[in-house]
Chains A and B, each alone.
Chain A
Amino acid sequence: MATITVNDQEIEVKDGVPLLQALLDAGIYVPHFCYHQDLPVDGNCRQCLVEMETPKGASGVISCATPVGDGMIVRTDTEAIEKARRGVLEYLLVNHPVDCPVCDQAGECRLQQSYMNYGFHQSRVNVEKVHKNKTLQIGERVMLDQERCVLCRRCIRFCDHVSESHELAVGGRGDHSYITTFPGHKIDNKYSVNTVDVCPVGALTDTDFRFKCRVWFLKKTDTICHGCSRGCNASFESYNHNTMDELNGTAFRLKPRRNPEVNKSWMCDEGRLLYQIVNENRIHEPRLANGKSPEAIAWEKAFGSAAEAVSGAEGKIAGICSPDCTNEELFLFRRFLNEVCGSETISAESLRKPGYEDDILLRADKHPNSKGVDFQGPWNSFQEIIDGVDAEDIKVLVVLRNDFLGLADNGSELGEKLAKLDALIVIDSNHSMTSKAATVLLPTGTFAERAGSYVNFEGRIQRTFSANQPRWEAKTEFEVFRTLAAQLEKPFKGSTNAARVWQDLAESVKEFEGIALAEIGNTGTLAKGYETETAS
């Protein structure tokens, strides 16, 4: 730790970090464009100037390129600094096109925010601005507007140091400089949309989000990406406004949330698109299929049918969930099967095959909670259950978030065996092969419509939060279990209070022992026995 004096106040800061980071961490805002916590320092925007005492008097330095040193004396509030900051800001605006009304970045644009802070509404520029190319699609997901670019080079540093794919460079010189790919090439890596995130202005924009929604209509909810076992921390952004409130709840995008231990500031391109399942292909209402085509029914009837099937099975019931379920779902599902359905036969195996992996973010295991499943064993295997169905020892199957029919190599064979069941009760959010085969289909919420926790591949427990109640007629899984239990006149212990549920979990799962919900917070915490593992 080092002690520095900022504006006559002594503060303790971490040694060796850039002065800018130390100031930001201490709550002293210093405007900046090119600095990014997870990228190497470039020092080209010159916006982060602060005054430092030197033997020759006070001198301006850029705080991003100045490592903190014990005893530094710094000022961020003098008139000279103000003038210097205004100067740089004015320069940034000289050739910047006034695209705000049509630019996606409006509302989350660093330049816009800065110039509003400084009241730069009257421009002194009375010369023609430099014109460059405006709609260059330089990648499948990335659109470039060279005029809006402030040449902070964050995108280049990302491609050089994080994705290490080196697709971007600056062409030209002086104020005719422009960002470009090498001639004939595109941005072609699995993390390209991160360049859109790091771009402080609307030069790089996401083609998937282009022109779709103004960002001030979006509500942000902390979530965990469920695309693989890394569990990147993400922010789920959905419509939330009283104009066009029929759109409320519609998902527009997933953006990464910074977590230095898990994903830094990054997310893969694939994972970002997972927001689409909140909007598309949803099961809107319960369905019943009594040997004929499934028909939409009211929940009362759906619960009735399901309860009938369960009591009729007389214990010959099994459950299948998956590592796509949260810890809480796994826990409550097992309790439901044990105490309400009277069965101990349960599997959490998924047939999804491992996929692409690299040493940046993507993991081969494409489930968010495989470790969570491991912690809450013992489980039967999927094959044991199918054998049981085949041998008619299992008459009713309750499936929670597992599309085994769609994922299996021998789907039709499995389907034939399932025909022997009296009832196939499926609880899921999106249509799938399995949901189509259901005799009773109970819709529930997607990842964005439930709160819970996952354990990622290195044993980190991370929380996901709910953006809103499940859309359309879907209900939370807790609601489903509780109501079914009530119909079957069995007690079912659970709660909508996350802390109480977690406490319950922590008492039963040894890897969660002694960990309070508050400890997990927004950045997660390592499970018991995993504390010495370091992030890879």
Chain B
Amino acid sequence: MPLVITRNFGRENSRSIDVYRENGGYETLTKSLEMEPSAIIDEVKNSGLRGRGGAGFPTGVKWTFLDTKSGNPIYFCVNADESEPGTFKDRHIMNSDPHLLLEGIIISCFAVGCHKAFVYCRGEFHRQIEFMWNAVEEAKAAGFIGKNILGSGFDIDIVIHKGAGAYICGEETGLLSSLEGNKGQPRIKPPFPAIKGLYDCPTVVNNVETICAVPWIIENGAEAYTAMGTERSPGTKVFCVSGPVKNPNFFEVELGYPLIDLINNEAGGLRDGVELKACIPGGSSMPILTPEEVAEAKMDYEALNAMGTFLGSGGVVVVPHTMSIVSLLRNLASFYAHESCGQCTPCREGSGWIAKILQNIDAGRGRPGDIELLHDLCDNMRGWAHKFHPIQPWLQKDEGMGGSKTICVFSDALAWPVQSYLIKFRHEFEEAIANANPSAAVPADISEKTPFTVLNH
């Protein structure tokens, strides 16, 4: 299988522009500048490339939503705010092949008519940001970024922007708010960024991995891309496997690859003495899979949707038999409570409440009725995926009204794991509650009983 994203990884000095060019780098750009921009968009559309950040929206189609008649400049934002727990692919792309990303950006900007692109990089990626800065300088010196690049008449500028440490800035409108200098708080959609995005101008937001696929697609053609993967999920994806496996790492494989093979072959299987208890297939926001489900799961968007979960960012987290699901969920919920932006009521209050209930259960202070309470709270937060994604089969009861109970899908990203863990591993929670000890010690969790003045961030 040809490597689309990771082809240059492992080469010595792979970040250098010279090494990149020695291996064919920037030749596709040269070729693209002689194509019609609309032809590039068509090629990407026909390739069936889908957003690799988590939502899986067809990229070429997203590009066609841009309002080209507004009279305002078009902006292109690359989402390098990789914060989904379990995901570490974009980081390695920027570590090993920043020029691939730059080439992808320039080609994409040429296609949609954008002259200024931003790479919004999470603030914790100090080294990756430095690598990107250096790459931009190298590309400028070589004439690939700047005015009238390669004599084509096309101007392009790329700005590497550093975030300040918020998961919610990975949400596209949160990213735009942060980029504009405001708090990274998501905006109400509609209007969508393609119509009114950065500075109220038409904007495209794409994930790093998505854009890195563009040079290969233009070089080799859409058909070559669709020859890999499945019919509705063509191409390859970089999956990250973490947990107690012998070879935790990232792997580029075709979409549709069996999950069990990813764990046992590429990742070397579980460590000696460790059994599989559960697996998160696509980043912490996605419903969890039992071992039986793992045996059947195929890593593509449709197959996982049919099982009631999502491919998401492709962050596979392997859960060993030694891990308490209650503790796992408590840890997860604390993360979401910490990262909620706080704008809308259900998510702001709900995430904090859910996290505290789970802390109580995990600390042996659970109460009868807590499981039902958690389900009810999740139902009241969740709604974005109700009608616009297949109904999760593991939810047996009617979940009431779908739609926009919240400003963004963050609350669903909390509700999906919470409800899936509660349903599939209910016995663990019931046990924790049954064994509750009212005088149990308070766990050393930062948001518990910490004075408000200390907690501010």
Contact = CB atoms under 8 A, between A and B. Distances in A.
Contacts of B449: 128
A296 to B, nearest CB: 58
Interface string B77-106: 000000000000000000000000000000
Contact of A127 (B342, B343, B357): B357
Given A83-B401, A84-B405, A174 B338 contact: yes
A43 B188 contact: yes
Contacts of A94: 349-350, 352-353
A177 B403 contact: no
Q: Is the interface of A mostly helix, strand, loop or mixed?
A: mixed
Interface residues of A, number: 49
B405 A46 contact: yes
Interface string B326-368: 0000000000011111111110111111001100100000010
Interface stretch (A85-93, A203-211, A446-454, A504-512): A85-93
A176 interface: yes
A175 B401 contact: no
Contact of A44 (B344, B386, B448): B344
B163 to A, nearest CB: 14
Nearest to A125: B353
B348 A174 contact: yes
A59 B402 CA distance: 6
A498 interface: no
Interface string B180-210: 0001000010000000000000000000000
A56 B387 CA distance: 7
Contacts of A170: 183, 342
Interface in A155-191: 170-177
B342 A177 contact: yes
B332 to A, nearest CB: 15
Contacts of A60: 383, 401-405
A87 B343 CA distance: 16
Interface string B364-389: 00010000010000011101001110
Contacts of A58: 401
A176 B455 contact: yes
Contacts of A126: 357, 360, 367
Contacts of B455: 176
Contacts of A124: 373
A83 B402 CA distance: 12
A65 interface: yes
Given A43-B407, A44-B344, A84-B401, A174 B380 contact: no
Interface string A51-81: 1101011111110010000000000001111
Contacts of B403: 49, 51-52, 59-61
Contacts of A125: 353
Given A43-B407, A44-B407, A88 B345 contact: yes
Given A60-B401, A132-B452, A174-B351, A127 B356 contact: yes
Interface of B: 166, 183, 188, 337-346, 348-353, 356-357, 360, 367, 373, 379-381, 383, 386-388, 400-407, 448-449, 452, 455-457
Given A83-B400, A177-B348, 17 more contacts: A46-B344, A51-B401, A58-B401, A60-B405, A80-B400, A84-B405, A88-B345, A91-B349, A94-B350, A94-B352, A127-B357, A128-B448, A130-B452, A151-B348, A173-B166, A174-B337, A176-B452
10 smallest beta-carbon distances between A and B, as pairs: A60-B403, A87-B380, A80-B401, A175-B352, A59-B403, A127-B356, A177-B342, A174-B340, A91-B349, A94-B349
15 contacts: A44-B343, A44-B407, A45-B345, A51-B401, A51-B403, A56-B387, A59-B402, A59-B403, A87-B346, A87-B381, A126-B360, A128-B449, A130-B352, A133-B452, A175-B348
